[in-house]
Amino acid sequence: MREAPEVAKRREYATKHGWLMYKLSPVGNRGAFDTVCAGPNGVVVFVEHKQATGRKRLHQIEEQKRLRRRGHIAEFCPTFESFRELLDNPVSSGTADPGY
């Protein structure tokens, strides 16, 4: 399956900055984030790629809360800029706010 151009751009940025980026299959895991990024410093972040006009689904917001309760970084990234900022400063916003 061919990767969307926006995701390919994000993968290129991640790789250039020492991150490993894994696409996950959500089969049987409703709400699962679609990507895991492993940083060169031992940090792991869960990323849900969204289009700028994309909406968060309730089950995705619940999954974000579940991951955060366990101490993980889990973020929605509607733009390349939001993804870049996350990798440059991998700290969870600490909220599972349904808005961007």
- Which residues, listed in sequence order, are joined to residue 22 by a DSSP beta bridge? 36
On whether the CB atoms of residues 59 and 30 are closer than 8 A, the answer is yes
The tens-digit pLDDT sequence of the chain (100 residues) is 456 888 999 999 999 999 999 998 877 788 889 999 999 989 999 999 987 777 888 999 999 999 999 999 999 999 999 999 999 999 765 544 444 3
Token pair listed for 55: 């909406």
CA nearest to 21, candidates 1, 2, 5, 43: 43
pTM for the complete prediction?
A: 0.84
**CATH architecture of the domain with range 5-88:** 3-Layer(aba) Sandwich (3.40)
CA nearest to 33, candidates 11, 10, 65, 80: 65
Helices (H), 32-74: 58-69
Instruction: Report domain extents, the chain.
Output: 5-88
Q: Three-class SS of residue 45?
A: strand
